[in-house]
Structure 1
Amino acid sequence: MTKQLDGRTIFITGSGGVLGSTYVRRMLDQGARVISTDLPGHRADALKAAHEGNDNFRFYDLDVGSEEQITEIFQRVMADGWNPNVILNNAAITGEMLMGAGKPFPDFADTTVADFERTLRTNLTGAFMIARQMDRDIVGKYPCTLINVASMYALNGAHHPIYDGMPFKNFSAYGVSKAGIHGLTVWLAGYWAKRQATVNTIAPGAVFNGHSDEFQRRVGELIMAGRMAQPDEIADVMLFLASPQSGYMTGQLINVDGGFSAW
């Protein structure tokens, strides 16, 4: 029986998180060969342990904020005989990750330029550098697709009151970087249009990842579906975008947010 992603070799950045690891699992289940990348650490170790022995899985250490590592990564992958035809710009740093465990989350007035620029470096500049390396090594040589991951906050303002009393807040640089992601998408879609390459953005909504009941209630009141998403619900749409069935789509922003952006 033919699977949805048979014949696809998919390169994923930031694959160790709750969504990234779900994409890896689902794509492997659908017949893809998956090139998984992330920073070294416990998330990467868990991902490698989960798929150890699967001949369709490869893992490479990658910091998407490093121009040098990105310059090298496609050459390494292709030298190993894995020519990616789908690239997924999924790596991102959130405010929670930036602050680290136990550190107070700053108000906007106390946000440092260093923290703001570090977020942009990972979330937006990293996506640009991956796309630029695609242009150098892949685009025009064979059909390919780029999927950029934005957020429900890419083109919609954050609802700040839902974060009152929570140990985390909505971080300004995150929304700014995710808005820029779709700007990159539409620019590249036109630039690559005659070179057999498509580019689209997926904007996931609020994804459950151990959030408190109170936070789930607050978020649910902003969403037509009345609840946060499960990771597999986002992956369902990602699988379509990574498949040949999305071949006539380019330059699009696909919201998978339970109706948040329609209200």
Structure 2
Amino acid sequence: MHDQLKDKTIFITGSGGVLGSTYVRRMLAAGARVVASDLKGHRADALVESHGENPNFRFYDLDVGQEDEVVAIFQRIMADGWEPNVVLNNAAITGELLMGAGKAFPDFANTSVEDWEKTLRTNMTGAFMIARQMDRDIVGRYPATLINVASMYALNGPHHQIYKDMPFKSFSAYSATKAGIHGLTLWLAGYWAKRNATVNTIAPGAVFNGHSDEFQRRVGELIMAGRMAAPDEIADAMLFLCSAQSGYMTGQLVNVDGGFSGW
């Protein structure tokens, strides 16, 4: 459906990861104008290299944990002539991301307050600040949609044994923030209901991103579908939530997890 999103201008935080970059590609293919953002670095560079020549694509450097950057972002976009009517709160710190910064993966007893608070700052406070700026700059001016990105671990505890002897573990702060983001969804859905804005949460399941065969086997045993998701399978549901077809949905959490949450 190349015109499914032809009337949408979609702003995405954390656009450079495996899901974010898939959303960008699929939304452009569906006819949307896409405003991508992420931290400076190779992921941002790869997005611009892939889509920079597309007239329906724009990229902005953005750290969602920095209040001054968030306060300015929608005015920057609108000053360039675009008006976002769909926003994806997709930026997040995961345990794997902390490892990529050169940190060893800690067990719970050795989790630092610094790493806990850094995760809350991006995953929860960043989502709040983006939503607050929508309230100031967008909501009520024209119909708008916010989609908060949670996780299969938002409302379901991880099976800690599947991480035994793996280089990464389930991260407590990640689970806590992904549960909290749906609380933000519920609060905002009612608050914006009379201002022609909808708010929903998507909870992706386990997405394949180069995981070992053994990890795939362990996770697959916990999922009704028996396997991890391909990024495009999460994007399929995200495109629906961004489209006019989801216009009567608000305050909902949509699990796209192959049945993980059904057992």
**Partner residue of 2:113?**
113
Residue 2 of structure 1: how far off its partner (Å): 6.5
Alignment of 1:226 with 2:226, yes or no, is yes
Q: Which amino acid aligns with 2:122?
A: T
**Partner residue of 2:210?**
210
Q: Distance in 2 between matches of 1:232 and 1:2?
A: 15
Alignment of 1:249 with 2:249, yes or no, is yes
For 2:35, what is the secondary structure of its paired residue?
strand
Q: Which amino acid aligns with 2:112?
A: T
**Partner residue of 2:199?**
199
Q: Distance in 2 between matches of 1:41 and 1:246?
A: 34
Asked if structure 1 preserves the Cα contact closer than 8 Å seen for 2:9 and 2:86, the reply is yes
Residue 96 of structure 1: how far off its partner (Å): 1.3
Q: Distance in 2 between matches of 1:144 and 1:101?
A: 35
**Partner residue of 2:144?**
144
Could you give the per-residue CA deviations for residues 134-157 of structure 1, whole angstroms, max 9, x where no partner exists?
000000110000000000000000
Residue 101 of structure 1: how far off its partner (Å): 5.7
Q: Distance in 1 between matches of 2:67 and 2:193?
A: 26
**Partner residue of 1:160?**
160
For 1:49, what is the secondary structure of its paired residue?
helix
Residue 102 of structure 1: how far off its partner (Å): 5.2
For 1:22, what is the secondary structure of its paired residue?
helix
Q: Aligned Cα RMSD in Å?
A: 0.9
1:42-191 matched pairs, under 5 angstroms: 42-100=42-100, 103-191=103-191
For 2:155, what is the secondary structure of its paired residue?
coil
Q: Which amino acid aligns with 1:137?
A: D
Q: Which amino acid aligns with 2:129?
A: M
Q: Which amino acid aligns with 2:49?
A: A
Could you give the per-residue CA deviations for residues 143-181 of structure 1, whole angstroms, max 9, x where no partner exists?
000000000000000110000000000000000000001
Residue 98 of structure 1: how far off its partner (Å): 1.3
Residue 103 of structure 1: how far off its partner (Å): 3.4
Extract unaligned runs of 5+ from structure 1: none
For 1:40, what is the secondary structure of its paired residue?
coil
For 2:73, what is the secondary structure of its paired residue?
helix
For 1:200, what is the secondary structure of its paired residue?
strand
**Partner residue of 1:22?**
22
For 1:5, what is the secondary structure of its paired residue?
coil
TM-score (norm 1): 0.99
Q: Which amino acid aligns with 2:140?
A: G
Extract unaligned runs of 5+ from structure 2: none
**Partner residue of 1:236?**
236
Asked if structure 1 preserves the Cα contact closer than 8 Å seen for 2:52 and 2:58, the reply is no
TM-score (norm 2): 0.99
Residue 14 of structure 1: how far off its partner (Å): 0.1
